Amino acid sequence: MNKYSVKCLICGEVHDPYTLNCKNGDESLLRAYYTAKQLIPTDMPGIWKYYNWLPVDGIIEEGSGRTVTYKSEALASELALDDLWIAFNGYWPEKGADLMTCTFKDLESFPTMQRIREQEEKRIMVVASAGNTARAFANVCSITGQPLLLVVPKESVHRLWTLHDDNHSICLVTVEGDYFDAISLAGKIAARDGFVNEGGARNVARRDGMGTVMLDAVLTSGKLYDHYFQAVGSGTGGISAWEASLRLLDDGRFGDKLPKLHLGQSRPCAPLYSLWKDEDSIDAACPDGMYDDVLFNRKPPYALKGGVKDVIEASSGDIYAVTNEEASAAQELFEKSEGIDINPAAAVAVATLVQAVKAGTVKPAEEIVLNITGGGQKRLVQDYELKQLPVSLEVSAKDEDAEDKVVKKVTEVFGI
């Protein structure tokens, strides 16, 4: 019996497990359905603890970490909450947290890479990112040797570091433009011979990898939550949490409720918030002025079947917009109370929770999980030396020859 199947949410047809789009043309995410209806943790390392609910047929043993969930005392006290749980994704050895890129994007990159290996894929994988995803894929490709083209906005290059001495399998290209410009260029290159797109939100391995945040949180507390909080750029993390919650509900051991999703974005550039609230379009200057521009994506998977709009409506949840001042105050509050540094994007999630508490949207006795999507980088540099990835090429999004220039540089870097 197959471990899982992949189905379209509109037509219900079962597709090849590695496909990204419905072959019938339906504008829908595909979703993985697992033969195992109950989640049985394994004794395998890192994220592979949840192997039974990951769309892979093997593991990458080296380097994999996972979420660590614990019940908050200090932050919970500050917010007058009785049952606040923190799902921490990053480096915090005192808590057993070992995501070595300090971001939950590691949870996407390892299962995605495992599926690439299962297909015996020899082509160059193309990843577009505002920084954190690129760092996660650079990490796993340095481990496996899979050739990787990273396309990132120029302003995000400072986020591109690893702990590895040998990063020969990586070609880093920066784009004078924003995240959407990087995505557009990467998409054009991935369509060429010799390249393969990792799939983004349409890749079930990426979503189910991120969904392990909810799996860890529920297994740790023993129950499904009333509320789930996370900061989002594309919103894929929120979709992942919802899909994981549906599986946990069907498991039957964790209660009969589903969490309300509370997804936070960063003003002044909050596309998902604007779509949800039916506000004006995003200013052309974005992502300038954001607390963290990794939370900006001009073209998020909002309206397609199974996308952000669907999961917010199904969960009776909401999307929030957080000011820089609110995010800064929230970051200070969390770090002072919990005793670990967090990434700016995670501070937006904390600020979202603070907004909800002040508005009375969440009640003191309700069960809440807060996804800290990245943290511990200041703690990491106490133990490790960060190595900046060298830039192979800089191009402009306005350059009509940018695509050809990148392909030429990749050919030089990888000797093909």
The answer to whether residue 76 sits within a structural domain is yes
CA distance linking residue 392 with residue 406, whole number of Å: 9
Per the model's pLDDT, the better-predicted residue between 256 and 397 turns out to be 256
Tracing tokens 């083209």 back to the chain, one arrives at 149
Range of the domain at 213: 68-103+206-380
Say if residue 325 is in the same domain as residue 398.
Answer: no
Mention every residue, 6+ apart, whose C-beta is less than 8 A from residue 75.
Answer: 84, 86, 333, 334, 337, 338, 350
What is the C-alpha to C-alpha distance for residues 21 and 18, in angstroms, rounded to an integer? 10
CB 264 within 8 A of CB 229: yes
* Angle CA 6–123–210, to nearest 5: 40
With b for 16 or more beta-carbon neighbours within 10 A and e for fewer, the 319-351 pattern comes to bbbbebebbeebbebbbebbebbbbbbbbbbbb
DSSP state of 153: E
Residues 318, 220, single domain; the answer is yes
Residue 291 lies inside a defined structural domain of this protein: yes
Residues 323 and 354 placed together within one structural domain of the fold: yes
pLDDT at 309: 98
Omega cis (within 30) before 153: no
Among residues 14, 5, 12, 10, the alpha carbon closest in space to that of 27 is found at: 10
What per-residue confidence (pLDDT) applies to 241? 98
Per-residue pLDDT, averaged over 61-81, amounts to 97
DSSP assignment of 159-189 equals: G-EES-S--TTEEEEEEES-HHHHHHHHHHH
The pLDDT value given to residue 297 = 86
- Specify the DSSP class assigned to residue 55: S
Q: Do 171 and 295 lie in a common domain?
A: no
| Stretch (H or E) spanning 204 | helix 204-210
- 171 and 309 share a domain? no
Number of H helices, E strands in the chain: 13, 17
Residue 41 lies in a domain: no
φ/ψ of residue 24, rounded to 5: -90, 0
Per-state percent for the chain, helix, strand, coil, to nearest 5:
40, 20, 40
Listed residue (96, 288, 311, 336) closest to 210, CA to CA: 311
- pLDDT tens digit sequence for 135-179: 999 999 999 999 999 999 998 899 999 999 888 899 999 999 887
Burial of 383 (0-12, 13-18, 19+ CB in 10 A): exposed
How many residues can be counted in the chain?
416
Residue 243 maps to a domain: yes
pLDDT in tens, 269-321: 999 999 999 887 677 788 888 999 889 888 899 999 999 999 999 999 999 99
Together in a domain, 309 and 358: yes
Cα radius of gyration (the chain): 20
Instruction: Read off the pLDDT of each residue in 354-369 and give the average, rounded to a whole number.
Output: 97
Alpha carbon distance 170, 23 (integer Å): 32
Phi first, then psi: give them for residue 362, nearest 5 degrees.
-115, 145
- pTM attached to this predicted model: 0.95
Residues 303 and 401 reside in one and the same domain:
no
Q: What is the CATH number of the domain that holds 282?
A: 3.40.50.1100
Q: How far apart are CA 386 and CA 86, in angstroms?
A: 26
Same-domain check for residues 131 and 216: no
What mean pLDDT is predicted for residues 109-120? Answer: 94
Q: In this structure, are 336 and 376 located in the same domain?
A: yes
| 24's tokens | 């019938």
Q: CA 203, CA 3: separation in Å to the nearest integer? A: 17
Specify if 60 maps to a domain: no
Two tokens, residue 142: 């340095």
Q: Give yes or no for a contact between 210 and 237, defined as CB atoms under 8 angstroms apart.
A: yes
Angstrom distances, CA of residue 208 to CA of 160, 277, 310, 400: 24, 28, 17, 37
Residue 82: what pLDDT? 98
**Residue 336, domain member (yes or no):** yes
Residue 26 lies in a domain: no
Bridge partners of 265, per DSSP, are: 321
**Average pLDDT in the chain:** 94
Q: Which two tokens stand for residue 215?
A: 């799996």
Q: How many domains does the chain have?
A: 2
DSSP alpha helices (H): ranges in 252-362?
271-277, 308-315, 324-338, 344-359
Contact of 103 with 374, CB cutoff 8 Å: yes
- The answer as to whether 51 is a domain residue is no
Same-domain pairing of 154 and 90? no
> Which pairing describes strands 97-98 and 387-388: parallel, antiparallel, or unpaired?
unpaired
H or E element in which residue 135 lies? helix 132-144
Same domain, 338 and 216: yes
Q: Shortest CA distance to 178 belongs to which of 290, 286, 300?
A: 286
**Which pLDDT score is estimated for 129?**
86
List, for residues 16-68, the tens digit of each pLDDT value: 999 999 999 999 999 999 999 999 999 999 999 999 999 999 999 999 999 99
Give the per-residue pLDDT at 1: 58
Quick one: 225 and 327 in the same domain? yes
pLDDT recorded at residue 299: 86
From the list 141, 148, 130, 329, the residue with the least C-alpha distance to 236 is: 130
SS3 category, 193: coil
